[in-house]
Structure 1
Amino acid sequence: MADDVLIELDLPPRPESVSVARLVVGSLALADPSFDEERTSDLRLAVSEACTNAMLAQAVVDDSRPIELRYRVSAASIEVSVRDRAGGFDLDAAQRVADLTDPKRLEYEGGLGIPLIKLLADEAEFRRLEDGTEVVMTFGPESPTGRLVG
């Protein structure tokens, strides 16, 4: 992996910003020879979910401040954080959603972001801050769950 690199972006809380975030983190990950296309896809999807959750949360409280995206490359991993200003959320309530493999999961939409982030990242931390939420995801070059499909 590359030497320590830090990139910070302020993204407008609009749907098209999710595509920008995916493009940026995907391009940066593919520039690292230890990350293959499959692992880069994991990173893109997790970042997309985190950005979508942040933007939806800010829309609920009508906050137009930017979503903060931080991308850090170290010797062994890539760390991405996504921070909103929506006042935080109840992580325990969000985690009470049925397991992804539970047939009851088919009875409702939404709520897949946090389980997907946890599945795709090596580490995922959800921090409730005074004025919002920060999701910190760490990715190594190898998937922690092996191949999900195929």
Structure 2
Amino acid sequence: MTSDPARFDFEIPARPEYLSLVRSLVVEAAEMDSTLSRERIEDFKVAVSEATTNAIEAHARACRDDSIHIRCTLTDDRLEFHITDRGFGFYPEQVQVLPEPDDPSRLNFERGLGIYLMRVLSDDVEIQSGPDGTEVSLAIHLTSNNSDG
């Protein structure tokens, strides 16, 4: 790779059938860096998929027909995905804290692992949200010794 970042911007309709396209794009972008393990790529694919699913659901709640904007940036040391919706927004610090995934009481909750998974499966997570929408930025670090999963 060069020191110039590769950047791709695209829009998808806010419909679940486009999640497979986003997942494919994550894999294709990640495979441009030969140091990432298959497991690491799959983990990041889940994180981006969770952010995209949340964006699709935000548009549904807001009855918005707008597309969801996705930006992928690949540099020598980072792979980033930014997912932007135009829903009502939310306050990340006010998201209900749920029991840990391995806690038996967690079975009482059918949903709510999205942000948790993004944080566990990405190296950097930023969420900026307001009444006009939310941008979730996810990144993984690329290094020549990247063998973690």
The TM-score with structure 2 as length reference comes to: 0.89
1:74 matched to 2:62? The reply is no
- Identical-residue share of aligned pairs (%): 34
The Cα RMSD (Å) is 1.6
Please state how far the C-alpha of 1:36 moved relative to its aligned partner: 2.2
1:65 matched to 2:66? The reply is yes
Which ranges of structure 2 fall in alignment gaps of 5 or more residues? none
Call closer, same or farther: CA 1:130–1:115 in 2, change over 3 Å: same
Count how many residue pairs are aligned between Structure 1 and Structure 2: 145
After the TM superposition, which parts of structure 1 deviate over 6 Å for at least 4 consecutive aligned residues?
Answer: none
The TM-score with structure 1 as length reference comes to: 0.89
Q: Deviations over 1:6-56 (max 9, x none)?
A: 101101000111111000111111122122211111111111100001101
Which ranges of structure 1 fall in alignment gaps of 5 or more residues? none
What pairs up with 1:43-54 in 2 under 5 angstroms? 43-54=44-55
1:73 and 1:79 in contact (8 A); partners too: yes
Please state how far the C-alpha of 1:96 moved relative to its aligned partner: 1.7
Q: Which sits farther off after the overlay, 12-21 or 102-111?
A: 102-111
1:86 matched to 2:98? The reply is no
Please state how far the C-alpha of 1:79 moved relative to its aligned partner: 0.8
